[in-house]
A = this chain, B = another copy of it.
Amino acid sequence: MTVPQANGGVVVNGSAQVVKGPAPLDASKTVVTLAENLKAVPPAEELIFGQTMTDHMVSVTYHPVTGWSNPEIKPYANISLDPACSIFQYSTSVFEGMKAYVGPDGKPRLFRPEMNMQRMKRSVARIALPAFDVDELLKLIKKLVAVESRWIPNVKGHSLYVRPTIIGTRPSFGVRASDHAILYVICSPTGPYFRTGPKPVSLYAVGEQVRSWPGGTGEFKLSLNYAPTFWPQQLAAEKGYDQCLWLLGEDQHITEAGAMNFFVVVKRDDGDLDVFTPPLDGTILPGLTRASVLRLTVAHGETTTLPNLAHSLKLHTSERRITMVDLFSWNDAGKLAEIFLVGTAAVVAGVGRVGFEGRELDAGAMGPVAKALYERLTDIQEGKVEFEGWCVHVDDA
């Protein structure tokens, strides 16, 4: 138990230790309460993304005087909040998307989790939520994944999706930062994004509504980046497309597609391939899968060979602005080899049709570069291939 003291310090766990200021997040103080009745784990082939939740969750609260409470791992439960809370009124919320896998050794592991933690730290600062030691959060996540390991589907392309979330809970209408918060982590077992094999995604290019802007929040993983995309997404669906391709500026350059990072593969005159993705200019989410794809395309032909690609095929990787004029010019010139999207949920998804101002191009199905990246990434994530220490075991918490 943590008791606020008149001097602003706290007495932790009833001991005589007096700490000055709010208590930091401390995973070593975790209290685990297991559910009395565990849910039945559905068959892997029936899992739909984000709909089935596991038995337990991590929960920690922040109070401006006492600081972070002792973390709990407890049965999955509703959150009860005052209707005036900051999260309801001012959208103070940050989340991360991570995946846990079972390796051939039977042990659970996470994919580059320290990148999620660093991004979460930046996102939390951007909307002035209470800061915390992200290394301690990672320890909590590892503890939770260890508790929930029976939920990780041991099937190719399946994983346990892990969603750390922090919400502001200051119960007042005053328009200012939330000095109260709840940090929680919930998990959902999930199958591959496309159950029927890699069906190409169709995109509708949207410039009238804009996902992000210089000086905005597009480079942070804030919940508030998502709600504004739902209505344009419905308009795209009415036109027969799966997702929005987000444009920005008078030059109509591409930022993202749906909730994923965008890549295009262009044939070069020398027989090699260019692999382009928009640069991290403040309007683009710095995706883990994006960073991993960039590293793998650079490593191909050097320290590794991607599946079913010639070792001698050079992938010239570049972060550069890509406009709709570029895309249609490459297509008209017969140089457009592949378009694909990357993100934690789908890993890599091939793009087919792209609609824009009454025109349409068709980039075909999932191409050899996208397929190679999907295969190699999932092999790394599932512990079948080791690459630069990207997989982290959860039993070192």
Contact = CB atoms under 8 A, between A and B. Distances in A.
Contacts of A89: 93, 95, 163, 165, 223, 226
Interface stretch (A151-159, A230-238, A292-300): A230-238
15 contacts: A50-B174, A51-B174, A53-B84, A79-B82, A84-B186, A88-B165, A89-B163, A89-B223, A127-B227, A128-B231, A175-B259, A209-B216, A210-B215, A213-B216, A216-B216
Given A78-B81, A168-B227, 18 more contacts: A49-B174, A50-B172, A51-B172, A53-B84, A79-B80, A79-B82, A83-B186, A88-B165, A90-B227, A91-B223, A92-B230, A126-B231, A127-B228, A128-B230, A176-B230, A178-B230, A207-B215, A224-B224
Given A88-B223, A173-B49, A223-B89, A231 B80 contact: no
A188 B83 CA distance: 12
Nearest to A168: B227
Given A90-B226, A93-B89, A216-B213, A231 B175 contact: no
Nearest to A166: B88
A92 B227 contact: yes
A125 B186 CA distance: 30
Contact of A188 (B50, B173, B213, B227): B173
A81 B233 CA distance: 25
Contact of A210 (B50, B167, B172, B216): B216
A284 to B, nearest CB: 15
A35 interface: no
A74 to B, nearest CB: 12
A111 interface: no
A39 to B, nearest CB: 14
A277 interface: no
Task: Tell which of A83, A92, A234 has the most Cβ of chain B within 10 Å.
Answer: A83
A100 interface: no
Interface string A160-200: 01010101100011111110000010101000000000000
A207 B216 CA distance: 11
Interface in A81-135: 81-84, 87-93, 95, 125-128
Contacts of A227: 90-93, 127, 168, 222, 224
Contacts of A92: 227, 230
Nearest to A213: B213
A258 interface: yes
A88 B165 CA distance: 8
A91 B207 contact: no
Given A49-B173, A188-B173, A224-B224, A93 B88 contact: yes
Contacts of A234: 128, 177
